[in-house]
Amino acid sequence: MSVTPSDVLNKNKNLDKRVNVGDIDLKNVTVDDLKFNGDNYREHIHLCSLLENISACQISDAYKGISHRSGTIKSIKPINNLKVWGSIFTAETTSDDWGTSALAIDAAGDGDILFFKVDNDEKAIWGELASTAAKNNGIKATVIYGSVRDLDALLYMDYPIFASNFVPNAGLALGLGTLNQPIEIEGNNINPGDFFFGDETGIVVIPKELFNKVMVSALEVKFTESGIVEKLASGMTLAQITGLR
């Protein structure tokens, strides 16, 4: 399946359209194509077709091959095991201040990933009400280097959450944090507009300037691993495939 000229010209574009993995073309794709802007139909569809078929592991492998870095933050784990990707909107605050979360929900754009750096995980800055408000505003997910709460609700919500910890207590609605400025977490520099991908295994952050190279490499990783699976199905051992014997 491919994107035809009539698809691109059609005013009522089908954003759920997908192409086969073997037909994916990422030559002109940029991080901006994560969102459909009215003119990037082909790029958006090809990019979504890839992202729906790869994992955080494959993206991390691709990024490592380019930058010799993993792109992961190991202390941040999936809370409700939902897969998500998008452009990062950053925020930084203290665990005493959940008010910055409310401000970030209003400031972020449709389709963004909220990424919070919190000074510690002693109090939660996010929970059920914030998740509900963020989802209603079109935000795709929330990532917190810190704590969340309300796991009785978050575990069953159709809204991806990633965090370092969870506790029942929260601070106050102070609103004293900073929004959409560069942050640094465990040696990783994260800038507004960088690419985020998260799934059941963990999270990966890719600098926006390397986005295309990493996506092209991730597609190659996908093809390579698919070929290995086929060889395993034919009876070869993993040691044989990797040249160890």
Give the pLDDT confidence score for residue 228 in this predicted structure.
Answer: 77
Rounded Cα distance, 162 and 169, in Å: 18
> The pTM is what?
0.92
Q: What is the mean pLDDT of residues 86-115?
A: 98
Q: CB–CB of 170/124 below 8 Å? A: yes
The DSSP 8-state label assigned to residue 109 in this structure reads P
Instruction: Please enumerate in sequence order all residues whose Cβ is within 8 A of that of 144, keeping only pairs 6 or more positions apart, or say none.
Output: 76, 115, 116, 118, 125, 126, 161, 162, 163, 164
- Phi/psi at 29 (nearest 5 deg)? -80, 140
Compute the C-alpha angle 82/25/194, nearest 5°: 50
Give the pLDDT confidence score for residue 239 in this predicted structure.
Answer: 86
CATH code of the region 77-205: 3.50.30.40
Give the pLDDT confidence score for residue 9 in this predicted structure.
Answer: 62
Give the pLDDT confidence score for residue 49 in this predicted structure.
Answer: 96
Give the pLDDT confidence score for residue 145 in this predicted structure.
Answer: 98
Domain residues of the chain, as ranges?
Answer: 5-69+218-241, 77-205
